[in-house]
């Protein structure tokens, strides 16, 4: 069994431990050694030994956690110099729930600074490399989590998604990534980027693992006023058919410019697979979709400018000593924040400034409302919406760093669902030029079970093999 540990899915590993065919210690040590030998810069911290055993339904399967989550006594830096060495006095609810369910903390994963980015090149600690091609990005901002799972450095990982930061790296690394319904998972202890958009969810090797992980993540938390009780238990999907399911394709969105031919071909092949499984595929319109990207890049920076004002060198994190308070604030934030974070703080502060609030932030929020209404209208005609996850496969390191707009367009397909707060999953749909392509499946609020069931059926039929990267340390 020891030689086959890396080939086991998380669910299979948990079952093997329960049956006595695999020890928790052997499983943890396998992944601890793999994470410790990481050549992708996917981890920012790795446990030196297995934490105290906790029995639970997750069976001792080790957990990688994005460094945006607070973990008591363990460095939690959000990919930023301004929080270098910061060890929180408490653990985020999402992490605590997974640990209580039996998943020991393996390590913290690298990310774009404060989750601001689509390539994982904005980390203060260097870029994460894509395990399929080390000269390419893994996507962001949860790039470390996605790369760790794709390369077999961790069996599964916790990430965050504000505008696509779980789904897009899942697509570029060839793994599964689920963004929940907003409020389904507690944000307590998750270092805030944009509070009305931030969500926490799983990055896993397959859909069954995503469902198992997510089952123990959801639920009301008294520490997070925006969290809600999930209306039903998350089931483990078994469906291999899509009979009776109606899938909607937003024609104008997926036929627009900027989609690589290989991505389009993979998407069209996935639609044919869905039809062969019994689904009906229809066209739909989301008239507000072309404006979603612009609205997002007003709302998210505006909320970030407010949230990040707490990092001032006074209470915790980096402090640059100066002769007066204003100079200390200025120099601390100058040295502590990276270029992309500064860019978004400036944009957000301007959008919220006197005389411009209604013209920018207020108008963007009205667009957000229309996006949500348009999606709701589609869900009256169809069960789910399907799109490519990313318009391109993984792009080269440094290729878009000087062109922020080109970088922001990476989130073209993921942002509408973030603005509406609806759930979506990305699963691998095939390869283009030897690199993974992602398929996004979206549903109305709290339709995760339906999404997971459809994703499982498509996953089984597509038969994507990501094992070629499991040796990529």
Mark whether 141 is an active-site residue: yes
Sheet holding 280-284, edge to edge: 43-46, 105-109, 63-66, 156-161, 199-204, 176-179, 424-432, 435-442, 384-388, 246-250, 280-284
Supply the pLDDT for residue 1: 45
Q: What is the Cα–Cα distance from 428 to 439, expressed in whole angstroms?
A: 6
Q: Which structural domain range is residue 229 located in?
A: 2-245
Whether residue 459 is contained in a domain is answered as no
Of the chain, the end-to-end C-alpha distance in Å amounts to 21
Q: What is the Cα–Cα distance from 431 to 434, expressed in whole angstroms?
A: 5
Whether residue 236 is contained in a domain is answered as yes
What's the number of domains the chain is made of?
2
Based on the fold, state whether residues 297 and 209 are members of the same structural domain. no
Whether residue 382 is contained in a domain is answered as no
- CATH number, domain of 170, equals 3.90.1300.10
Residue 112 tokens, joined: 């774009």
Based on the fold, state whether residues 104 and 235 are members of the same structural domain. yes
Residues 6+ apart with CB under 8 A from 447: 181, 384, 422, 423
Dihedral over alpha carbons 239, 388, 175, 114 (to 10 degrees):
-130
Supply the pLDDT for residue 470: 74
Based on the fold, state whether residues 68 and 175 are members of the same structural domain. yes
Choose the final residue of a domain: 316, 339, 366: 366
Based on the fold, state whether residues 189 and 56 are members of the same structural domain. yes
Supply the pLDDT for residue 4: 85
Q: What is the Cα–Cα distance from 183 to 15, expressed in whole angstroms?
A: 30
Choose the final residue of a domain: 320, 349, 366: 366
Cross-strand pairs, 177: 203, 426
Based on the fold, state whether residues 174 and 31 are members of the same structural domain. yes
Collapsing DSSP states into helix, strand and coil, what is residue 426? strand
Mark whether 66 is an active-site residue: yes
74-87: per-residue pLDDT in tens? 999 999 999 999 99
Dihedral over alpha carbons 376, 428, 230, 78 (to 10 degrees):
-100
Residues 72 and 108: beta-carbon distance below 8 Å: no
Whether residue 445 is contained in a domain is answered as no
Q: What is the Cα–Cα distance from 188 to 178, expressed in whole angstroms?
A: 19
Based on the fold, state whether residues 233 and 307 are members of the same structural domain. no
Whether residue 426 is contained in a domain is answered as no
Residues 6+ apart with CB under 8 A from 49: 32
Based on the fold, state whether residues 91 and 175 are members of the same structural domain. yes
Residues 6+ apart with CB under 8 A from 244: 278
Whether residue 256 is contained in a domain is answered as no
Based on the fold, state whether residues 241 and 296 are members of the same structural domain. no
Select from 202, 260, 163 the least CA-distant residue to 64. Answer: 202
Whether residue 467 is contained in a domain is answered as no
Residues 90 and 189: beta-carbon distance below 8 Å: yes
φ, ψ at 96 (rounded to 5°) = -60, -40
Choose the final residue of a domain: 245, 269, 304: 245
Supply the pLDDT for residue 2: 47
Q: What is the Cα–Cα distance from 397 to 130, expressed in whole angstroms?
A: 9
Based on the fold, state whether residues 76 and 143 are members of the same structural domain. yes
Whether residue 277 is contained in a domain is answered as no
Supply the pLDDT for residue 137: 98
Based on the fold, state whether residues 149 and 23 are members of the same structural domain. yes
Based on the fold, state whether residues 25 and 125 are members of the same structural domain. yes
Residue 325 tokens, joined: 């308070």
Mark whether 165 is an active-site residue: yes
Read off the pTM: 0.96
Catalytic residue from among 44, 80, 118, 165 = 165
Block mean pLDDT (10 aa), the chain, length 473: 80 96 96 97 96 89 98 97 96 98 98 97 97 97 98 98 98 98 98 97 98 98 97 96 98 87 97 98 95 96 96 91 93 96 96 90 97 98 98 96 85 96 98 97 98 98 89 62
Q: Which parts of 120-206 fold into alpha helices (H)?
A: 143-150, 167-173
Based on the fold, state whether residues 209 and 76 are members of the same structural domain. yes
Residues 86 and 46: beta-carbon distance below 8 Å: no
Supply the pLDDT for residue 194: 96
Dihedral over alpha carbons 58, 64, 68, 69 (to 10 degrees):
40
Catalytic residue from among 44, 76, 80, 141 = 141
């Amino acid at each position: 069994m020891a030689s086959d540990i890396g080939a086991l899915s998380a669910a299979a590993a948990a079952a093997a431990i329960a049956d006595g065919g695999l020890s928790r210690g052997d499983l943890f040590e396998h992944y601890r050694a793999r994470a410790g030998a990481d050549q992708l810069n996917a981890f920012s911290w790795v446990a030196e030994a297995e934490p105290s055993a906790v029995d639970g339904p997750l069976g001792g399967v080790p957990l990688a956690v994005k460094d945006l989550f607070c973990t008591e006594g363990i460095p939690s830096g959000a990919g930023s110099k301004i929080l270098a060495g910061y060890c929180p006095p408490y653990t985020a609810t999402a992490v605590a729930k997974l640990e209580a369910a039996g998943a020991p903390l393996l390590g913290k994963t690298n990310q774009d600074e404060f989750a601001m980015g689509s390539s994982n090149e904005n980390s203060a600690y260097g870029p994460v490399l894509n395990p399929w091609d080390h000269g390419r990005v893994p996507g962001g901002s949860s790039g470390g989590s996605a790369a760790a799972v794709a390369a077999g450095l961790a069996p599964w990982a916790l990430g965050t998604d504000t505008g696509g930061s779980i789904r897009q790296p899942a697509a570029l690394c060839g793994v599964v990534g689920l963004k929940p319904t907003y409020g389904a998972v507690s944000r307590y202890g998750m270092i805030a980027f944009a509070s009305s958009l931030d969500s926490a969810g799983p990055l896993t090797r397959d859909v069954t693992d995503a469902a198992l992980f997510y089952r123990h993540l959801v639920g009301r938390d008294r520490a997070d006023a925006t969290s809600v009780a999930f209306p039903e238990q998350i089931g483990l999907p078994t469906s291999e058919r899509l009979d009776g399911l109606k899938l909607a394709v937003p024609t104008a969105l997926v036929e627009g410019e900027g989609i690589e031919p290989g991505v389009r071909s993979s998407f069209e092949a996935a639609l044919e697979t869905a039809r062969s499984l019994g689904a009906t595929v229809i066209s739909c319109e989301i008239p507000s979709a072309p404006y979603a990207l612009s609205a997002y890049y007003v709302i998210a920076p505006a909320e970030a400018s407010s949230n990040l004002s707490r990092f001032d060198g006074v209470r915790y994190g980096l402090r640059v000593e100066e002769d007066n308070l204003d100079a200390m604030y200025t120099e601390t934030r100058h040295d502590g924040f990276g270029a992309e974070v500064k860019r978004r703080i400036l944009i957000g502060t301007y959008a919220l400034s006197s005389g411009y609030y209604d013209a920018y932030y207020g108008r963007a929020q009205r667009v957000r409302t229309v996006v949500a209404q348009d999606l709701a209208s589609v869900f009256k005609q169809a069960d789910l919406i399907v799109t490519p996850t990313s318009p391109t496969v993984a792009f080269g390191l440094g290729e878009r760093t000087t062109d922020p707009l080109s970088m922001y367009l990476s989130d073209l397909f993921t942002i509408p669902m973030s603005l509406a707060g609806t759930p979506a999953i990305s699963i691998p749909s095939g390869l283009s030029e030897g690199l993974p392509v992602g398929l996004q499946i979206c549903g109305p609020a709290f339709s995760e079970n339906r999404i997971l069931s459809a994703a499982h059926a498509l996953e089984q039929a597509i038969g994507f093999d990501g094992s070629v990267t499991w040796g990529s340390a």
